[in-house]
Structure 1
Amino acid sequence: MAPMNRLVVALLLALLAFAAPAQAAPRVAALTPFSASTITRLGVRPVVLGQTLGGTDQYLASLRGVPVLTLTHPLGPNMEQLATYNPSIVLSSKTWQRGSAPMRRLGMKVYESDPTSVAAVGRETRAIGKVLGRTRAANALATKIENDVRAAQRGIKRRPRVLVILGVGRTPHAMLANSWGGDVVAKAGGQLLTAGLRSPSGIARISDEIVVKRNPDIIIAVPHGSPGAINKLAAYYQNNPSWRNTRAVKNKRVYVATGNQLLQPYPGVAATIRSVRAKFLKNY
């Protein structure tokens, strides 16, 4: 071997010997469906999940088998139970912000992330990537999500008047434009009949009389309750006699969404927009 070649080989071997080992994936507790689904797409498997408001129909198959923590107000997870999973990072939300200080006292890095609008999904994806040290992958994922959303909104031909109703038991609540479900339906081309209703949470309690007075073309009911009660609630909202004089009932356009896609945000929001357009709004 020529002297110059031997020198190059020696330098390469020296560099390999002193190279830093590959960075291990952080141990992450993902308390929201959005954060859990996002980090999975970034190549990080959470050590534990927070329970969801609805079903797990929007979760990736790769999240099956991950332990789940019960979340209760006002702190979120039980701190002792959370500590047994030894997470270095907790991805939480504003809902559980009172639990952030105790988590930090346990030595955990906490980031509160849960978008309430379609536009915020890309921004929060990039923020999570920065927290995890996966900036490049997060930028690519966020750009793909934003492009997919634009594609899902193409060709909207009709913008029907819609009430999106969160059914807490048999009490109707309107999902406003500042709620996740309301914003998704609006992005899909629905005109929300929520003028004059205000709520920081994006959910405003209404009455059956208000539903009739606003007379929507379409009602999308999202029943919310214990898993065993969902089917009964779905049947109730599908056939609520108090709404019989609305255009939605007369034209058989009362729909029930029993999954989790309108309750909590997910990275796959473009697929949700397409689903809302195809199943409910029919505005292609």
Structure 2
Amino acid sequence: MSAFRPALCAAFAAGLLLAAPAAEARFGKRSSGTSDDTGAKKIHAATPIRSSSQDDAPSDTPPPSGDDDDCCDTAPASSPPSYSAHAYGEAVLAGEELLTAALAASHAQALREQRPSPPLDVRLGLNVGAMGGGTAGDVFLGIEGEALGFSIQGTQLTLPTDDGTRGTDDIRLATMHLTYAPVSTDRVRWRLEGGLSTAHAPDVFFVGPSVATSLEVCVAGPLDLEARVQGTAGTYRQVDASAGLALHLGALNVRGGVRGLILDDAGRVDGIQHVDSFVGPYAGVGLAF
């Protein structure tokens, strides 16, 4: 599968966000009235080794004649090795095998210690932007190896109240994901993510399962294209999509782009579905090492 397909998905998701209807009421906040007049929308074997013995060669010379005692002068045949000598030889062979195995294990351990560990990449940063007539700020941290890692991101939304009263509505979002990169080269890195997300609104606190995908593609020199789409379903619904450019100045990164966000409390606050949709620009700085 082409590595640019996730970027197309991110662009498609951003298009959906841009086309999303305006929010009818504040996400996670009780409505000021629940009647229909308020205009609120209701949603319902090896061969053994053996030693050979030499047979006594027959003699062509007949035995000398004489007394029977002369037969005793003949040298007796050599006797087989004793059991103790055989055991000693086996012990020596076993010792040699153990020594060889120990040396091989020591050599393998030395090679493992000399082999360099895969490097860890650390990414952290801060983004700020305008969203929904208010402001949005988020911080993120990612630590990953050649393929596996984890990431944490938190977002603070400070929005004007939806009913015209004085003050602001604060919504805090967070995601905690394990990450896996099926594509990781010098120019392209595509991640799949999964974990949990939370949303803390004025009158409710949600926790739900979360999945995401992100893509970084080197466009030219130090300039990268970045895109990310995250979604939550279950207790509440969330779609968070962003796309932008990042300029790498050594360990320092400067980025900017557009972000869209949809939040839906599924009527779990007061029986009325509250949906907020926001789109706005963002800019930020980060470090990568």
Which gives a bigger RCO, structure 1 or 2 (Cα 8 Å, sep 6+)? Answer: 2
More helix per residue: 1
State the TM-score, normalizing by the size of structure 1: 0.21
State the TM-score, normalizing by the size of structure 2: 0.20
More strand per residue: 2
